[in-house]
Structure 1
């Protein structure tokens, strides 16, 4: 499934705004970093597929792996927030 860049960015922004109030600082930072990295990988994979260097299935696999990494980064940030001393 392909998403255009504007749709992906708009969806990510809307989701971030919706959950920002309940996320900690580390989780938000890690989520933002992960999403940025996933977007870069998505753009690279799409360009490679458009150039005929990889198949559509390989593009999807690259994008899925980047999104999984972004999710893992967000979970790591959440764990950091949960173990941080209360202020």
Structure 2
């Protein structure tokens, strides 16, 4: 009877050892899969961060170009206003000179 119990215990021990190897293999495979998933998630996050940085840089360039264009347009508008004011002053000066000559001519009569 004792031999039967010892043999049964030995068989159970071998079964547990085999089961343990199988469980270790499955655990190792699962850990590998989790590591692969984590690496893929990290790569995806890095790619997303790179894309966001590129988009931000592009937006900054576009904004800079828009500001530059607006400043140029504003400068052109100011230049146009100054030129128009100068032309108006010149015309007013010419008109004053003409009216002054007319007044002087009337005074001589």
TM-score by length of 1: 0.36
Larger radius of gyration: 2
- Give the structure with the larger helix fraction: 2
